[in-house]
Amino acid sequence: MLRKTPDNQLRTRSHWRRMPLKGLVFLVVVLLCIWIPFFAPYDPQAIDILNRLASPSPSHWLGTDQMGRDVFARLLYGARITVGSALLVVLFAGGIGTLIGALSGYLGGFLDKVVMRLCEGMSVLPALAITMVIAGVLGLGLWAVIVALISVHWTEYARLVRNMVMVEKAKTYIQAAESLGAGRFRIIRHHLLPNIAGPLLTITAFSMSWAILSFAGLSFLGLGVEPGTAEWGRMIAESRSHLRSHPHLVLAPGLAIMALVMAINLFGDAYGDRLRGTHTNPLKSRRS
């Protein structure tokens, strides 16, 4: 036992050192989104018909698309829309879901029954299909898609937060706080939420990657962003007809989506492992 403790600490510390590396990718992307105009070599909407479908070259790093627009600049600006929308979805769905889940789990009773039936019902249905139907009724615009994603996705948070709150609620520190006379909302805010914040962040990472993939998929189909917008899913859809002659037009945005989602997933994995106190490399097996 004595021999093991320093070893564990060492592991945790080395893990902490490596953790930011995985988060860093995401952070860099977010910062890039804000400062894009400083990095982007061209205006993403500047049409240059004479120079259409140019191959990658020093002046156009990733070549130009079917309208002569610089692909690299469009990729950078595309991150802004995709990441921004996904962040909005996660923020609102997470906020609403956490609040309702925590209230439902802590207060219990009739509210809990209704909320949980609703969330279970939603979890059975295909989320993307329901999102599309809601977005269709709201009018297919960018805000319609974001609102539709939020209204489908909050139930996931509510369900998971409710289950975590049920576990925490039974622990003695909550009973202690209750017997000291703390109010319900004080307990939820100061005791329950801080204690589930860790696992919640892991969920948020995976929900972020879901939001990015869904948003890109919907804009690929033509929902959300206007035609011609510099958005990754839209770029893939619009370069589709040049797939055989200029595959890099489809490859580049797809790789961008994949890299971003993978970074977020790995971050979530690593953070989850750290929370559970085990140190596992996702590329190494558990019991080797």
Under the binding rule (CB under 8 A), the answer on residue 23 touching another protein is no
What separation in angstroms does the CA of 79 have from each of 75, 86, 280? 6, 10, 30
CB of 22 to another protein, least distance (A): 12
CB of 282 to another protein, least distance (A): 6
Query: How many helices (DSSP H) and strands (DSSP E) are in the chain?
Result: 10, 0
Contact assessment for residue 248 and residue 56, using Cβ atoms and an 8 Å cutoff: yes
Contact assessment for residue 225 and residue 219, using Cβ atoms and an 8 Å cutoff: yes
Structure tokens given for 225:
């962003």
Among 215, 196, 106, 199, smallest CA distance to 152 is for: 215
Q: Which is nearer to another protein, 192 or 250 (CB)?
A: 250
Q: Which residue among 76, 261, 271, 274 contacts another protein (CB under 8 A)?
A: 261
Contact assessment for residue 261 and residue 216, using Cβ atoms and an 8 Å cutoff: no
Structure tokens given for 211:
């939001």
What separation in angstroms does the CA of 95 have from each of 100, 117, 120, 162, 238? 9, 20, 19, 13, 35
Q: Which residue among 147, 200, 236, 270 contacts another protein (CB under 8 A)?
A: 236
Q: Which residue among 32, 36, 128, 193 contacts another protein (CB under 8 A)?
A: 128
Among 93, 7, 56, 48, smallest CA distance to 277 is for: 7
CB of 258 to another protein, least distance (A): 5
What x/- string results for residues 55 through 94 when contact with another protein is judged by CB under 8 A?
A: ----------------------------------------
What x/- string results for residues 191 through 210 when contact with another protein is judged by CB under 8 A?
A: ------------------x-
CA distance 230 to 178: 53
Q: Which residue among 116, 149, 161, 257 contacts another protein (CB under 8 A)?
A: 257
Under the binding rule (CB under 8 A), the answer on residue 288 touching another protein is yes
Q: Which of residues 108-127 bind another protein (CB under 8 A)?
A: 117, 121, 123-127
CB of 35 to another protein, least distance (A): 25
How many residues sit close enough to another protein to count as binding (CB under 8 A)? Answer: 49
Q: Tell the residue number behind the tokens 């860099």, with chain if given.
A: 28
Structure tokens given for 131:
């999102």
Q: Which is nearer to another protein, 28 or 258 (CB)?
A: 258
Select from 30-38, 67-75, 91-99, 254-262 the region that touches another protein (CB under 8 A). 254-262
Contact assessment for residue 22 and residue 263, using Cβ atoms and an 8 Å cutoff: yes
Strands (E), 1-120: none
| CA distance from start to end of the chain | 22
Select from 26-34, 46-54, 97-105, 239-247 the region that touches another protein (CB under 8 A). 239-247
Q: Which residue among 115, 233, 238, 270 contacts another protein (CB under 8 A)?
A: 233
Q: Is the Cα dihedral 121, 126, 131, 137 positive or negative?
A: negative
Q: Residue count of the chain, please give it.
A: 288
Select from 31-39, 49-57, 169-177, 237-245 the region that touches another protein (CB under 8 A). 237-245
Interface residue list for another protein (CB under 8 A): 117, 121, 123-130, 132-133, 135-137, 139-140, 209, 213, 216-217, 220-223, 233, 236, 240, 243-244, 247, 250-251, 253-254, 257-258, 261-262, 265-266, 269, 282-288
